[in-house]
Amino acid sequence: MNATDVSIAAVVLAGGHSVRMGSDKAALPHPQSGVPLIRHQLDLLRGLKPAQLLVSARFEQTLPALPSDVARVNDDGQAGPLGGLCAAFNAVSTTHLLVVAVDLPDLTLAPLRRLLDSVALGLGAVAATGTGLEPLIAVYPREIYPYFATALAAQHLGLRLLLQTPKIQAQVKTITFDPPPPAFHNWNTPL
């Protein structure tokens, strides 16, 4: 991080409906450790020592037991990741929000640290590969929350498209990972 005034909250987005998987990904056992995916991601993020640690889920979603240092925020589950991001932004008081998806079982600290090393007050970072942006491996500055909230209210839910708007591009640096690490592979179907 480039400034001592930067503070980070971290959120695991776990509110997807897991239609292709056939069961809630958050509760699935991690392929190596066997702990629920949600717990695995929280343990990973804890290694970055965020000021706040959150899980974003659907209102009716049943999750495995969360540690006492983790706050749960809810959204209606109808707005995809953007709904979860907005719910998380509403719950934190930090300058930045680090976001990861629950379905990235191979994610490591290295790419997250690389993103964090690129942020400064008012400036975030999003991972990118040769196939495009990875908006669920990102650090968003608080200053872009109003753009997210406006897009959510207008039901413009596509994060990749939203991140290509000039106002947001000016506040979120693209960090390219080439070749893309296996850590960015999301788990969408049963093994």
Task: Output the pLDDT for position 24.
Answer: 66
Pair type for strands 96-101 and 172-176:
unpaired
The answer to whether the CB of 103 falls within 8 A of the CB of 27 is no
pLDDT (tens digit, 9 = 90+) per residue, 102-142? 998 889 999 999 999 999 999 999 999 988 899 999 999 99
What's the CA gap between 124 and 20, in Å, rounded? Answer: 31
pLDDT at 176 over 80: yes
The full 3-state SS of the chain, as one line of letters, equals CCCCCCCEEEEEECCCCCCCCCCCHHHCECCCCCCEHHHHHHHHHHCCCCCEEEEEEECCCCCCCCCCCEEEEEECCCCHHHHHHHHHHHHCCCCEEEEEECCCCCCCHHHHHHHHCCCECCEEEEEEECCEEEEEEEEEEHHHHHHHHHHHHCCCCCHHHHHCCHHHHCCEEEEECCCCCHHHCCCCCCC
pLDDT tens-place string over residues 148-158: 999 999 998 89
Say which residues have a Cβ less than 8 Å from residue 75's Cβ, sequence separation at least 6.
15, 56, 58, 59, 83, 84, 86, 87
The domains of the chain are located at 8-184
Res 42 pLDDT > 80: yes
Which range, of 37-41, 70-74, 78-82, averages the lowest pLDDT? 78-82
**Beta-sheet pairing, 172-176 with 70-75:** unpaired
Instruction: Give me the architecture of the 8-184 domain, per CATH.
Output: Alpha-Beta Complex (3.90)
